[in-house]
């Protein structure tokens, strides 16, 4: 696991600049660094040594030195690909997975990408063609950003490295701010930094002669197979997941596992047979502390559990640093808990396994039950439901009205993912500035269009796989782990696991009885029944409680009334949200945290 940076070389001090850019992401790879600079390109690399510890340093060159590679990630099927390439006549200088990418690109070009099994973001420079080729993994586990400014094309694992380049112009993208207020993360291709873009998951790019081209090499395709029965699907899940975990354990260093009280991380820890599990929690309230469960489960599987109770002071004091590492604001309170569990694990191991992705691919979120739960209400003709919903929207907020409002809308109108913070009307009222931000429906429409013929549960999963998982779940997984120089691997997010999951009928994914129905049955073979059927918590955080306490209420109020806040927001409305929450009128905690997170992030990067 590493960090990469680079730029087309149009400046005389390229050596010094690439060194500064590398230093900005040293946390991603503290073990060593390397660079390649010529009259056309500067490429930098920071290494966290996991595989081939002695000879796996980068950049890596092909046989004649005409191609140069820098790579962040792991290729789990590199050994079989290596044998195939050796048979085709390629000569390897190392035993690392990185070199497989270089020779694979020589042999197959872009067609190499669907052959890979792993997580990756890499760039290859072809000296003869004077062309950059880069790609990002299937699900977007590893990040890759790019921008073109002042005649220079830059790329990197983290945006903060661009700030060290003299040609980079730092400017806030206010459109991203308005979108973020609804989604709690940055949902579009352009980031919070104007002119800086994310390479989308399962995409490649080429840059040559000042022209950028991008394309997609893989697509999730749900196509239910009604043939196998439930027991057969459970057996297939068990076999495929065990194979994925085995592949994800390939390393020349010790591998650990995160453990909450949910089935996903428990299933991973049990199947992986790691020596150590890691857990964090808050206080003694079981709603916010899963340590007791984790210790019991670790004892059940015969492993050591290492845990830490996070204090409120630690949480709030570390928050600015966490937003720095995030690059873009992310208002998911669990990101901070993830930071601490990564820090805890990094004291003992270099690699951990985690349960991200299981909910999206197997249908695990409780909201996925909504279409079946309200099936009777849906018998009411759609025009009548819409009329009732519009009337309910005009009434004062009251328990039960939200149901009528949501059911008065089509799925494509009401579901944008697992977070829906501020509506378009609310965010317009809150913002002092004017932007050209699209509506949430405009952002989600391209994804809904691709699954228009599917059932509602599948539509929700598809949207989350392409938006929520990449924009929130995997963003915090990468940034929080790498901020602690820790490699986080996600065996659920595997090409083979996805190929299986997208064939499982909806009736075996989400039922009235439970979510992730078939997967939970598979987990029963490795976990006690209590675990396999337990409701998901996932390192919960008591933000709503803290915001009612004087110390943190005053801290947030000061931020809301600051000059910084006044640049963007109608601050009286922010204070009103805060006071309503403190008085117990409404639970505004997620709305408050979304705005506060942005203000902290903005202070870190624009003060």
Domain ranges of the chain: 2-216, 230-364+464-532, 542-607
3-state secondary structure of 489: strand
| Pair of tokens at residue 170 | 């730092």
Backbone angles phi, psi at 41, to 5 degrees: -145, 150
Q: Among positive and negative, which fits the CA dihedral 475, 476, 482, 486?
A: negative
How far separated are the first and last CA of the chain, in Å rounded? 31
| Pair of tokens at residue 547 | 């915001």
**Nearest partner of 47 among 69, 25, 62, 78, judged by Cα:** 25
| Pair of tokens at residue 196 | 């800086």
* Beta carbons of 82 and 100 less than 8 angstroms apart: yes
3-state secondary structure of 544: helix
3-class SS letters over 115-156: HCCEEEEEEEEECCCCEEEEEECCCCCCCCEEEEECCEEEEE
| Pair of tokens at residue 545 | 């409680």
Beta strands 255-258 and 351-353 are parallel
d(CA 576, CA 585): 11
d(CA 530, CA 533): 6
Catalytic residue numbers, as ranges: 2
At residue 9, the pLDDT reads: 84
Tokens 């309910």 belong to residue: 392
Torsion of CA 543, 338, 219, 178, to 10 degrees: 40
- Homologous superfamily, domain 2-216: Aminohydrolase, N-terminal nucleophile (Ntn) domain (3.60.20.10)
- Angle at which helices 440-450 and 456-466 cross, to 10°: 110
- Homologous superfamily, domain 230-364+464-532: HUPs (3.40.50.620)
d(CA 416, CA 368): 12
User: What are the distances in angstroms from CA 274 to CA 270, 290, 302?
Assistant: 8, 19, 10
d(CA 597, CA 604): 11
- Angle at which helices 78-87 and 97-108 cross, to 10°: 50
Beta strands 145-149 and 196-198 are antiparallel
The whole-model pTM stands at 0.94
124 strand-pairing partners: 69, 133
Which residues of the chain, if any, have pLDDT below 70? Answer: 1, 49-56, 284-288, 373-379, 385, 389, 392-408, 530, 532-540
d(CA 268, CA 526): 9
250 CB-near residues (< 8 Å, 6+ apart): 51, 74, 76
């Amino acid at each position: 696991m590493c960090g990469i940076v680079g730029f087309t070389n149009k400046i005389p001090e390229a050596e010094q600049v690439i060194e500064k850019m590398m230093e900005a992401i040293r946390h991603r790879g503290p073990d060593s660094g390397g660079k390649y600079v010529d009259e056309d390109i500067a490429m930098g690399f920071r290494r966290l040594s996991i595989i081939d510890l002695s000879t796996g340093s980068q950049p890596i060159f092909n046989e004649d030195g005409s191609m140069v590679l820098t790579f962040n990630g792991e290729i789990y099927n590199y050994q079989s690909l290596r044998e195939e390439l050796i048979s085709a006549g390629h000569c390897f200088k190392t035993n690392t997975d990185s070199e497989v990418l270089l020779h694979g690109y020589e042999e197959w070009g872009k067609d190499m990408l669907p052959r890979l099994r792993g997580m990756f973001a890499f760039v290859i420079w072809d000296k003869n063609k004077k062309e950059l080729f880069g790609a990002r993994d299937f699900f977007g586990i590893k990040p890759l950003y790019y921008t073109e400014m002042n005649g220079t094309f830059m790329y990197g694992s983290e945006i903060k490295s661009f700030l060290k380049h003299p040609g980079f112009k730092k400017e806030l993208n206010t459109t991203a701010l308005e979108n973020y207020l609804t989604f709690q993360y940055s949902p579009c291709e352009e980031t919070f930094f104007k002119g800086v873009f994310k390479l989308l998951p399962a995409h490649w790019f080429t840059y040559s002669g000042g022209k950028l081209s991008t394309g997609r090499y893989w697509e999730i395709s749900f196509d239910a197979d009604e043939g196998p029965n439930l027991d057969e699907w459970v057996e297939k899940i068990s076999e495929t997941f065990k194979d994925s975990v085995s592949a994800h354990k390939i390393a020349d260093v010790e591998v650990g596992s995160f453990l909450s009280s949910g089935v996903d991380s428990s299933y991973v820890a049990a199947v992986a047979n790691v020596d150590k599990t890691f857990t964090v929690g808050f206080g003694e309230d079981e709603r916010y502390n899963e340590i007791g469960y984790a210790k019991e489960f670790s004892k059940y599987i015969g492993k050591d559990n290492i845990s830490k109770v996070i204090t409120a002071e630690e949480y709030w004091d570390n928050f600015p640093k966490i937003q720095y590492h995030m690059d873009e604001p992310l208002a998911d309170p669990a990101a901070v808990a993830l930071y601490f569990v990564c820090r805890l694990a990094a004291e003992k191991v270099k690699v951990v396994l985690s349960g991200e992705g299981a909910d999206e691919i197997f249908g695990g979120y409780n909201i996925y039950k909504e279409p079946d739960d309200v099936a009777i209400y849906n018998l009411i003709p759609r025009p009548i439901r819409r009329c009732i919903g519009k009337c309910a929207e005009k009434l004062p907020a009251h328990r039960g009205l939200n149901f009528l409002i949501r059911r008065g809308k089509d799925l494509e109108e009401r579901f944008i993912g697992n977070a829906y913070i501020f509506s378009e009307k609310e965010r317009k009222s809150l913002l002092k500035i004017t932007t050209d931000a699209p509506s949430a429906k405009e952002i989600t429409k391209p994804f809904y269009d691709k699954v228009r013929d599917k059932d509602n549960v599948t539509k929700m999963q598809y949207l989350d796989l392409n938006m929520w998982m990449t924009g929130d779940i995997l963003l915090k997984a990468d940034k929080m782990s790498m901020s602690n120089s820790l490699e986080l691997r996600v065996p659920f997010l595997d090409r083979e696991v996805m190929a299986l999951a997208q064939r499982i009928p909806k009736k075996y994914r989400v039922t009235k009885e439970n979510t992730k129905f078939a997967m939970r049955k598979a987990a029963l073979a490795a976990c006690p029944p209590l675990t396999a059927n337990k409701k998901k918590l996932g390192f919960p955080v008591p933000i709503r409680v803290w915001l009612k306490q004087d110390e943190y209420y005053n801290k947030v109020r000061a931020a809301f009334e600051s000059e910084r806040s006044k640049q963007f927001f109608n601050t009286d409305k922010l204070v009103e949200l805060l006071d309503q929450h403190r008085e117990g009128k409404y639970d505004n905690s997620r709305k408050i945290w979304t705005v506060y997170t942005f203000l902290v992030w903005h202070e870190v990067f624009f003060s």
